[in-house]
Copies of this chain bind each other. A is one copy, B any other.
Amino acid sequence: MTLTPNRLTNWDSFIAELNGIETIQDPNQVAKLSQDYYTFSPVLVPQLTGKVGDLVVRPANEAEVVQVAAVCAKYRVPVTIRGAGTGNYGQCVPLEGGVILDMTRLQGIPWVKPGVVRVEAGVKLAQLDKKTREIGWEIRMAPSTYRTATIGGFIAGGSGGIGSITYGQLRDRGNLLAVRVVTLEEEPRVLELRGDDVQKVNHAYGTNGIITELEIPLGPAYPWVEAIAAFPDFMSSAHFGQALGDADGLIKKLISLHADPIPTYFTALRPYIPEGSHIALLIVAEGSLEGVQALVKEYGGTITYTKSAQDAGKGFNLAEFTWNHTTLHARNVDPNLTYLQSLFPPEKDLATLEHMYHHFGDEVMMHVEFLRMGGRAVPAALQVIRFTTEERLNEIIRYHEERGIFIPNPHTYILEDGGRKAIDPVQLAFKQEVDPYGLLNPGKMRAWLEREV
């Protein structure tokens, strides 16, 4: 058993053994499909530029995935699984070349029922929603990339998003019901994990199994209204956001705060943003709109824009200015901008948030996304940062951590460092079981790199 992957120089016999499964060898295309959105991080760019796979393989169904896995195991070639490649941390950038396993042809939706859907890994989130909405349901949460991102990539690489203010994050019990996983062995097995066992592969960056199919819980497809509320000062918007997050009778999908000058980066929204104001981007159920309006007023804000549920699909989607799309818009205006991810402690008075809002001034611009964690609405933030040096960035991170703010660092491609910083023994054990040669996304799981062999 060798534990270092092979670097094949001649792929002909490998390809022959794929028995006609679709491949891409054109170097330009392979290079393109070796990238994701790590370019948001000036720290990652020098580390990942030029890392490319050797070959893209595009299985059309689970049987083909099994065959690809068998051939990869036989030849001991690294396998980096790819959904839509919208990850932010080089999650699907191949560090050691090899096969890019493109999952986007797995497009089936075996069944939908009230509250649950069974779906193949390559289905785009927007596509999935289209299907489930036929019976009045929709996915509980989605990244702001939901138009292009796949469900497999979201589970393997994402954390939460629009909807997390109601349902928490992907890691929370109940937000992923089952996964089917193909192992990377000469004779690949297909495993179905249910209940707490799904945590073995949930958010593992595709390092310990190829997810082919998933069972995902659904939430009700309310008629959703989009709204912009403008506030004269940031902390009023923050207290409003917390109050809306805590309002049990008001149904919401998004509470996204943007301190001035972030809103100036949102070109399309300019007509609705009074000069110098701080804004909340909201998605709420139609039936809750009157209540939300009353709350906005209570906190001194003004609603400057609404889009009714009937007009969904028309014009811009407010969601596409939130979560990490905020950074995207900011970087479109100024490519020196980058971002941070942080989770604030639950505090009634939002004192820590207020301190951080003021502390770094213009260098760290406050962008808050409220989400539910452990049963409470808490402010998370994806601050927009004027980047100078890596040292300064780390200084900023340290200052946050010293004040009890948790930072899942977006400037690393290492699974654990970008998350809870701790080795996950369950995920490591599962990797040992399903990827004995260590071929899946090599170099990403610290637990594997540092394990005792």
- Shortest C-beta distance, A301 to chain B (Å), equals 16
> Is A335 among interface residues, defined by CB-CB distance under 8 A?
no
> Is A249 among interface residues, defined by CB-CB distance under 8 A?
yes
CA distance A293 to B295 in the complex (A): 38
Q: A195-B291, A217-B287, A290-B194 are in contact. Are A250 and B114 (CB under 8 A)?
A: no
Residues on B with beta carbons closer than 8 Å to the beta carbon of A293:
195
> Is A14 among interface residues, defined by CB-CB distance under 8 A?
no
- Find out whether the CB atom of A250 lies under 8 angstroms from the CB atom of B136: no
Of chain B, the residue at the smallest CB distance from A220 is B220
- Shortest C-beta distance, A351 to chain B (Å), equals 18
> Is A271 among interface residues, defined by CB-CB distance under 8 A?
no
Within 8 A of B (CB), among A223-279: 223, 245-251
Residues on B with beta carbons closer than 8 Å to the beta carbon of A196:
294
Within 8 A of B (CB), among A152-192: 166-169, 172-175, 177
Provide the A189-225 mask, 1 if CB < 8 A to any CB of B, else 0: 0000011100000000000000000000111111100
Residues on B with beta carbons closer than 8 Å to the beta carbon of A195:
290-291, 293-294
- Find out whether the CB atom of B247 lies under 8 angstroms from the CB atom of A375: yes
> Is A373 among interface residues, defined by CB-CB distance under 8 A?
yes
Residues on B with beta carbons closer than 8 Å to the beta carbon of A285:
115, 217
> Is A376 among interface residues, defined by CB-CB distance under 8 A?
yes
CA distance A166 to B195 in the complex (A): 22
Residues on B with beta carbons closer than 8 Å to the beta carbon of A15:
none
Provide the A401-418 mask, 1 if CB < 8 A to any CB of B, else 0: 000000000000000000
Q: A174-B291, A195-B294, A250-B174 are in contact. Are A286 and B116 (CB under 8 A)?
A: yes
Residues of A within 8 A of B (CB): 113-116, 135-137, 140, 166-169, 172-175, 177, 194-196, 217-223, 245-251, 285-288, 290-291, 293-295, 372-377
Known contacts A195-B290, A196-B294, A248-B373; 14 further A-B pairs (Cβ under 8 A):
A115-B251, A115-B285, A116-B287, A136-B136, A168-B249, A169-B248, A172-B249, A173-B291, A173-B295, A174-B248, A174-B291, A246-B374, A248-B372, A248-B374
A sample of 24 inter-chain contacts (CB < 8 A) reads A113-B223, A114-B136, A114-B223, A115-B223, A136-B220, A137-B220, A166-B248, A167-B248, A167-B249, A168-B248, A169-B248, A172-B249, A173-B295, A174-B247, A174-B249, A174-B287, A177-B290, A194-B290, A195-B290, A217-B287, A246-B375, A248-B373, A248-B374, A375-B376
